[in-house]
Structure 1
């Protein structure tokens, strides 16, 4: 599983991670070892790039981009 996909799934499931991401998204993304391209896509909330980089077909954003319907 890609690091970006893992982060998106974790953001969907872990409220504490959502809080940490809102406080310092770049630190959280670096802790997941995301590529610079993935970090840029997440910061820009570029849904198409995030889908392409994560391999997920369905993602959503309520302020924080996260996986949706991944199971």
Structure 2
């Protein structure tokens, strides 16, 4: 579960870097580990199901502030 999640996340972040939507130096293991850990934690605590709203909230509240140069 971890490796596919990290791989997908890295692909998304790299696309964001290419489009200058995220920091150019943000693609490191700490960022990927933090998002993967949050994903796994929430999956366990929410019985493995993610609603569309939950995914949007994780993106808006965790990923965008973490990845964008000025926090969103």
TM-score (norm 1): 0.29
The structure with the larger Rg is 2
Higher strand share: 1
TM-score computed with the length of structure 2 as normaliser: 0.29
